[in-house]
Structure 1
């Protein structure tokens, strides 16, 4: 029986969401097309009616997963988002956690379209870490962006390192706690104000003639 366009779209979204979860859990090389389609409730033969290639699905599923992480930040401020991101709960939820932390290493070896999706995802996560008013008066936008990049790289790296440790490892928890505290301290108003003062104080002497 022929399915409607709406049902076909719903089926496609189901495959994308299933792929997003399985790729995060097992890695890109750990999931074959047949297993992926079976997990979504479809036959292997239907894959190429929906996607041009596995890489095409990788890109779409990465966008889906990153959007889920960004959505978590929408109703909380940046420090609260960091507290959740660098928590045991998030670290242990591989299948539903941050796509950037789960698949960033794999993405580096994938086709251009996949890496372009991750680059767009980085921009989305930077925006999540830059709420309104994040750039204090007198702080150059490029400095505010640099601060957000530092926080994001710090947080993603902490999750990767913590997950690399054995289960229940004290080191795994130590990595999360230390990085979380360091990031939250760097995000405090006093830290931002101090950085702004240092930048302004050195600006005149650093400027070329």
Structure 2
């Protein structure tokens, strides 16, 4: 039985939603095709008919996660509010719906060029977003430098806060970085 184009598009979106969540929760190497098929309510065959390979699926799921997370950022926002939300305990504790950069950074360097291209484009977007909110008293190159340092610090702080097994240290990492950039 053939699937309509509309149903195929819905299936593709359902797969990408499930894959982007699982990637952020389990990592690229931890996301098996079986778990993904279960999470999306699909068969292995439907996954491969949509994407052709796990590599292509990962590439599109990474891009999907980046775009979806970017849509959550309001058009107008204060930089301090962005930093506070990014470095919150809620964000730390919910990687499946959180920042794909913090969830996947440690694995991306071992991925295909296509996955890395999508990830790199997303990082550039985050830097542009942060740069656009940094005080206009700085020259454009200075704003970009500050945005680069801020992006690296935010992502790094979230990665460390998730990695340590000491709740106080985890909270301290978030707080100290929030205090550094939230002002």
Q: Same fold (TM over 0.5)?
A: yes
Three-state SS of the structure 2 residue aligned to 1:30 is: coil
Q: TM-score, normalised by structure 2?
A: 0.93
Three-state SS of the structure 2 residue aligned to 1:28 is: coil
Displacement over 6 Å in runs of 4+? none
Three-state SS of the structure 1 residue aligned to 2:96 is: coil
Matches of 2:65 and 2:47 in 1, distance apart? 20
Matches of 2:17 and 2:53 in 1, distance apart? 16
Q: TM-score, normalised by structure 1?
A: 0.82
Aligned residues: 182
Contact 2:55 2:112 in 1 (8 A): yes
Query: In the TM superposition, what whole-angstrom CA distance separates every residue of 1:83-124 from its partner, at most 9, and x where no partner exists?
Result: 100000100001111000000111111111111111000011
Query: In the TM superposition, what whole-angstrom CA distance separates every residue of 1:24-80 from its partner, at most 9, and x where no partner exists?
Result: 101111111122112101111222211121111111111111123222322422221
Contact 2:81 2:182 in 1 (8 A): no
**Correspondences of 1:124-139 after superposition (within 5 Å):** 124-131=125-132, 134=134, 136-137=136-137, 139=138
Matches of 1:78 and 1:56 in 2, distance apart? 34
- Of the three residues 152, 176, 181, the one matched with 1:178 is 176
| C-alpha displacement of 1:141 | 1.4
Matches of 1:40 and 1:112 in 2, distance apart? 26
Three-state SS of the structure 2 residue aligned to 1:68 is: helix
Contact 2:131 2:146 in 1 (8 A): no
Matches of 1:71 and 1:180 in 2, distance apart? 22
Matched, 1:112 2:113: yes
Contact 2:79 2:182 in 1 (8 A): no
RMSD over equivalenced CA pairs, Å? 1.5
Unaligned runs of 5+ in 1: 186-209
| C-alpha displacement of 1:2 | 2.0
Higher relative contact order (CA 8 A, sep 6+): 2
Matches of 2:70 and 2:35 in 1, distance apart? 28
